[in-house]
Amino acid sequence: MVDFFRTCQALHVDVMRAIALGMGLEQDFFDQFINASDNNLRLLHYPGVKAEVFKLNPGQTRAGEHSDYGSITLLFQDRQGGLQVKLPTGDFIDATPIEGTIVVNAGDLLARWSNDTIRSTIHRVVEPPSQDDEHPARYSIAYFCNANLDSFIETLPGTYATEQDKKYKGVKSGEYLVQRLRTTY
């Protein structure tokens, strides 16, 4: 499990370097903000459920609509399906599992950092496709990538013209994470 965590950390660095280049920054811009591995790995299990549960409770979800708090989330999902992402139009589309791929969701901290140039991925887990009267269990692994907890996160250069264009005040990553967790739990 430790090796998997380290592999995910290396992928976090690679993705953030790609984002930096895409935003016109130096490739290693984010390195100083993500080198402490202040990330979380979560094993997720959605138990099998009878199809009638969803029929009797229209709109029922396995995980309600939300966004993640950090910079990005790496999501490894099984073949069961059910993950949906929200489009800018407000509609949800299936994030159909594709073997050998990883879903990368942008998080709220990256949205703040980029002044909403990159928006948080709103997502949920709904009733999966089923051929039977029972929906099988769903398993996934979420690797939540955060900035170093002691890093001060400010709006990135090039994402605003004047100080008034900044949508967010600077924030210490760890304090932001704790504040978000407190409002959730």
In a domain, 58, yes or no: yes
Output the pLDDT for position 53: 82
Question: Percent helix, strand, coil in the chain (nearest 5)?
Answer: 30, 25, 45
Output the pLDDT for position 56: 80
Distance CA 111, CA 167 (A): 10
Distance CA 134, CA 43 (A): 22
Output the pLDDT for position 131: 67
The region, left, alpha or beta by phi > 0 then psi within -120 to 50, assigned to residue 42 is beta
Whether 135 shows a pLDDT value over 90: the answer reads no
Q: What is the mean pLDDT of the chain?
A: 93
In a domain, 17, yes or no: no
In a domain, 155, yes or no: yes
In a domain, 26, yes or no: no
Beta bridge partners of 92: 86
Whether 127 shows a pLDDT value over 90: the answer reads no
Whether 166 shows a pLDDT value over 70: the answer reads yes
Q: What is the DSSP letter of 24?
A: T
- Write out 47-113 in H/E/C secondary structure: CCEEHHHHHHCCCCCCEEEECCCCCEEEEEECCCCCEEEECCCCCEEECCCCCCCCEEEECHHHHHH
Output the pLDDT for position 28: 98
In a domain, 34, yes or no: no
Whether 40 shows a pLDDT value over 80: the answer reads yes
Total of domains in the chain = 1
Closest CA to 50 of 140, 178, 136, 159: 136
In a domain, 2, yes or no: no
Domain boundaries, position 177: 39-184
Output the pLDDT for position 68: 97
What's the whole-number mean pLDDT along residues 170-184?
93
Q: What is the DSSP letter of 4?
A: H
Whether 41 shows a pLDDT value over 70: the answer reads yes
Output the pLDDT for position 132: 77
Output the pLDDT for position 171: 97
Whether 25 shows a pLDDT value over 80: the answer reads yes
Q: Which two structure tokens, joined as six digits, stand for 45? A: 């299990």
Asked if 117 contacts 23 with a C-beta cutoff of 8 angstroms, the reply is: yes
**CATH number of the domain residue 169 falls in:** 2.60.120.330
In a domain, 105, yes or no: yes
In a domain, 5, yes or no: no
Whether 59 shows a pLDDT value over 80: the answer reads no
Question: 15-24, 49-58, 65-74: which has the minimum mean pLDDT?
Answer: 49-58
Asked if 110 contacts 120 with a C-beta cutoff of 8 angstroms, the reply is: yes
